[in-house]
Amino acid sequence: MRSLSFQFCVLIIFGSLLIPAFCHGHDSHSQKPHKHVPLFVFGDSLFDPGNNLYLNTSHKEASAYWPYGETFFKRPTSEFMELPLTTAYLQPGTHRFTHGSNFASGGAGVLADTHPGTISLPLQLSYFKNVVKQLKQKLGEVKTKKLLMRAVYLFSIGGNDYFGYSMKNQNASQSSQTQFVGMVIRNLTNALEEIYQIGGRKIAFQNVGPLGCVPTNRAKTGNGACAEEASAMAKMHNAALANVLKNLQTRLPGFKYSIFDYYNTLSDKINHPSKYGFKEGKSACCGSGAYRASNCGGQGFGGTTTKFELCSIPGDYVWFDGGHTTERANRQLAELLWNGTPNCTAPHNIKQLFGHME
């Protein structure tokens, strides 16, 4: 998947979001955190707050340009409930790591060789270790350990691994797909165990979305249907991830987790947009070609410029570009990530993880 740093804009909204019966948010006034809880974010373009702007590669280009971020401070960014704007780790200047940090990178994967030039999960983990060293220098070992145990570790990663695999291995056998999913999951599990050993106890995941139904893949099928192989691998990944997290909770004392069912929640918006206040669930607001699936912003790799179309009301669309949802869709999704009921965010939602103290 093209490395767009369009932000997930995790805005926890307590206004009247239109969220029908598929899944709901809990009462927003209950279970408020009683103690400062840092947030460390790992992931891809869905959570990238601008790290790719500081990469000396082609992966930094796309979302640095209008129309990305047009309705939020006129630029891409991200925000989390009751925390300052979560700083991009690579952003120059002073960082308040006691509030956490965001290591996510557009185009990044769990595997180091997924989109070289981005900040892969192994590199994100190394950055996190650097943060831990700085915290220990500032706070000392004991206070740092307590802070890391209170913290929430939020992930959205894996989709780019499967995008890359499907592009290179068209018509791959079922066994080959299963083997690849297993490799991704093993590497992801190793990272989670390492975070636990460092002190992390509360892990939150947005699982992999319906990859075959993003406009980019839909445009490739020729008949407007979803690309079934890509979605099938996402389903395999999500089932394996759920098993891994359940197992880690069983064998690691104090380990707690949350999985937001991004796959099914987003699929419902795509298939039934009017239920959620949208007019269009398949085509993107911004881009060119079938389903406006490509070239949003007109900034290609190597500085090339291409024509694109931009809808007049982005909030009418589920998709902003070929692989990323609009700010309005993100607000609805963020509410459920933070405060969703067990049928879409389980066994805890992130708000509950913020309330769980050691």
Q: The tokens of 218 are what? A: 């839909």
Residue type at position 98? T
Q: What is the pLDDT of residues 187-223, one digit of tens each?
A: 999 999 999 999 999 999 999 999 999 999 999 998 9
Say whether 3 is catalytic. Answer: no
CA-CA-CA-CA dihedral for 141, 144, 145, 146, to nearest 10: 130
> Is residue 183 predicted with pLDDT exceeding 50?
yes
pLDDT-based confidence at residue 152 (cuts at 50, 70, 90): very high
User: For a pLDDT cut of 90, what percent of the chain falls above it?
Assistant: 70
Residue from 54, 199, 91 nearest 135 by CA: 199
Residue from 292, 318, 291 nearest 306 by CA: 292
Residue from 301, 330, 333, 312 nearest 65 by CA: 301
* Active-site residue, from 99, 115, 324, 348: 324
DSSP line for 210-277: -GGGSHHHHTTSSSS---HHHHHHHHHHHHHHHHHHHHHHHHSTT-EEEEE-HHHHHHHHHH-GGGGT
> Is residue 34 predicted with pLDDT exceeding 60?
no
Classify 287 in phi/psi space as left (phi over 0), alpha (psi -120 to 50) or beta: left
* Active-site residue, from 166, 258, 321, 348: 321
Provide the mean pLDDT of the chain: 85
Q: What is the pLDDT of residues 269-296, one digit of tens each?
A: 999 999 999 999 999 999 999 999 998 9
Q: What is the pLDDT of residues 305-317, one digit of tens each?
A: 678 999 999 999 9
Confidence (pLDDT) at 80 = 42
Confidence (pLDDT) at 33 = 44
* Active-site residue, from 5, 45, 166, 267: 45
Lowest-pLDDT range of 40-49, 62-71, 153-162: 62-71
Please give the model's pTM, rounded to 2 decimal places: 0.88
Residue from 104, 101, 243 nearest 182 by CA: 243
d(CA 356, CA 335): 19
Confidence (pLDDT) at 86 = 73
Confidence (pLDDT) at 17 = 33
pLDDT (mean) for 114-129: 96
Say whether 321 is catalytic. Answer: yes
Confidence (pLDDT) at 60 = 53
Confidence (pLDDT) at 35 = 72
Say whether 45 is catalytic. Answer: yes
Residue from 53, 57, 62, 55 nearest 3 by CA: 62
